[in-house]
Amino acid sequence: MTVYEPIEEFTDLKPPVTSIGVLGWIRSKLFNNWYNSLLTLATLYLLVKVVPPFIDWAVINGNWNTTGAACHQSKGACWSIIHANIRFIMFGFYPPTEQWRPLLAMMLLFALLLVSRNRRWWSKYLGFAWLAGLVVMGLLMKGGLFGLPAVDSGQWGGLPLTLILSVFGLTAAYPLGVILALGRQSRMPAIRYLTIVYIEMIRGVPLISLLFMSAIIFPLFLPEGVTINKIIRAQVAIIMFTAAYVAEVVRGGLQAIPKGQYEAAESLGLNYWQTMRLIVLPQALKIVIPPTVSILISAFKDTSLVVIIALYDILKTTQSTLSNPEWMGFSTEAYLFLALVYFICCYFMSTWSRKLEKELQT
C-alpha cells in the first residue's frame, strides 16, 4: 500500500506575483480588460489635470488669515473670509455677549443626537430627555427667564436657526404625519378624503410656495392686530410640508402590517386607538425608521429655502457676508465652506440611517 504524501515543493508554491498584493489588486480592479484600462488611464489623466491646479488654488496659494484687500491681490483661494466672519456666519445677529447660549443649545442637540445614535440606549427616558432638551434649547435661545436677557427671535440666525427649523420641524411634523397617515387609512370617507386632499396637495407643490404663503398670505388670515413672528410662520410651513411626506412614509409602514395583526387585536377586544397604539404603530413605525431619517435629511437641507423669504439662516448669513465690499467676489470659498458644513451634518445622518437599516433588517 502506497501512502501519498503531499509533495513539499507544491505546498510552498505561491500564486504569481501579478495576482496578489498591490500589483494583483491593481490588475484586477483597474486593468482587468482593455476598456477598463482605457477608462482608468482617462480618469487618471483627468484627475492629474484637475486636482493639482485645485490644490494650488486652495492650499498652496490659499490665504488663511489675511484681510480682504490682501485676498484681492492674491491669486489663491481666500479662506480668510470664513476666518474673519465666522461669528456672523454661525450666529447671525445674535448678541455677541449672549453667544454662548446658542452654542450651548447646539452642543446639547449634538449630545442628544450622539446618544440616540446608539439603538441600545433607546428608551422612554431618552424620549423624555429629548423633550426636555428641546424645551431647554428653546429657553436658551429665547431667554427672559432665570436671569437670561431675552433675545428677540428676529435676531436669531445662522446655524442655530437652521438646526431649530429642522429639528423642531421634524419633531412636530412626525406626530402630525402619523395622524395624517392614520386618516388616510381610515374607514370614514370624509376623514380619508380630507387627508388625501391635504397630503396630495402639499406634495404636489414646491416648498417655496408654502414659504411664500407663510410670509405673504398668512398675515392676511389673522384678525386685525394679531401678528405672529416670521420664524414661527416659516416653521409652520416647514412642519406642514414635512408632515405630508412623513404621512406617506408611515402609510407605507402601515400597509406592510399584515391584516392578521388587526384581526388579532380586534379579537382581543381592543378598540381602534388601543389597536393602533399597542399593536400596529409600534411595528409600522419601526419599519419606516430608515426612510424617516432620509426625510430628516431632506428637511434639514430644505430649511435653506428660508433664504428666499429673508430669514437669516446659515446660507443667508454667508450671503450677506459676501455683499460686504471687503469680501465681495469670494463666493466660491464661502459656499465651499458651507457645503462642507451641510455635508458633514447630512453624512452623519445618512451613515446612521444605513447603519439602522442594517440593524433593523429582520
Partner 1 sequence: MTAKETPSTTRTSFWHDPEKRAIIFQLLALAVVLLVGYYLFANTTANLKRQNIASGFGFLGKEASFEIGESMISYSAADTYGRALLVGVLNTLKVSFIGIILTVILGTLVGIARLSSNWLISKIAAIYIEVLQDIPVLLQLFFWYGIFYQFFPPPRQAIRVLRGVFISNRGLVFAVPAPDPIHAWMGAAFLAACLGSYLLRRWARRRQEKTGRYFPVFRVSLLLLVLLPLLTWLAGGAPTKMDVPVLRGFNFVGGRNISPEFTALLLGLVLYTSAFVAEVVRAGIQAVSHGQTEAAMSLGLRPGQILNLVILPQAMRVIIPPLTSQMLNLTKNSSLAVAIGYPDFVSVTNTTINQTGQAMEGIALIMAVYLIFSLTTSVFMNWYNKKAKLVER
Q: Site residues (CB under 8 A) for partner 1?
A: 29-30, 32, 36, 39-40, 43-44, 187-191, 194, 201, 203-209, 212-213, 216-217, 219-224, 297, 301-302, 304-305, 307-308, 315, 319, 322, 329-332, 335-336, 338-339, 342-343, 346-347, 350
Amino acid symbol at 355: K
Closest separation in Å from C-beta 4 to partner 1: 38
Closest separation in Å from C-beta 346 to partner 1: 4
148 or 196, CB closer to partner 1? Answer: 196
Find the DSSP H helices in the chain. Answer: 8-11, 21-29, 34-55, 68-73, 80-91, 100-117, 124-142, 158-184, 189-204, 207-212, 218-221, 230-256, 259-267, 272-274, 281-287, 289-302, 314-322, 331-360
How deeply is 306 buried, as exposed, middle or buried, from its count of CB atoms within 10 A (0-12, 13-18, 19+)?
buried
40 or 116, CB closer to partner 1? Answer: 40
In degrees, rounded to 5, the angle at the alpha carbon of residue 215 between the alpha carbons of residues 246 and 135 is 55
Residue 78 main-chain phi, psi, to 5 deg: -110, 80
Residue 63 main-chain phi, psi, to 5 deg: -105, 125
70 or 336, CB closer to partner 1? Answer: 336
Beta partners for 78?
63
Distances (CA, A) of 205 to 141, 199, 200, 241, 282: 32, 10, 9, 9, 31
86 or 136, CB closer to partner 1? Answer: 86
Closest separation in Å from C-beta 95 to partner 1: 27
Closest separation in Å from C-beta 210 to partner 1: 9
115 or 194, CB closer to partner 1? Answer: 194
In degrees, rounded to 5, the angle at the alpha carbon of residue 84 between the alpha carbons of residues 79 and 88 is 115
Closest separation in Å from C-beta 15 to partner 1: 20
Are the C-beta atoms of 150 and 142 separated by less than 8 Å? yes
Closest separation in Å from C-beta 295 to partner 1: 13
CA–CA separation, 142 vs 144, rounded Å?
7
Q: Other C-beta atoms within 10 Å of 338: how many? A: 19
Closest separation in Å from C-beta 178 to partner 1: 17
How deeply is 320 buried, as exposed, middle or buried, from its count of CB atoms within 10 A (0-12, 13-18, 19+)?
middle
Closest separation in Å from C-beta 224 to partner 1: 7
Closest separation in Å from C-beta 1 to partner 1: 45
SS3 state of residue 148: coil
153 or 319, CB closer to partner 1? Answer: 319
59 or 131, CB closer to partner 1? Answer: 59
130 or 262, CB closer to partner 1? Answer: 262
Q: Other C-beta atoms within 10 Å of 8: how many? A: 7
SS3 state of residue 225: coil
C-alpha cell at 103: 452654542
7 or 190, CB closer to partner 1? Answer: 190
51 or 131, CB closer to partner 1? Answer: 51
Closest separation in Å from C-beta 159 to partner 1: 13
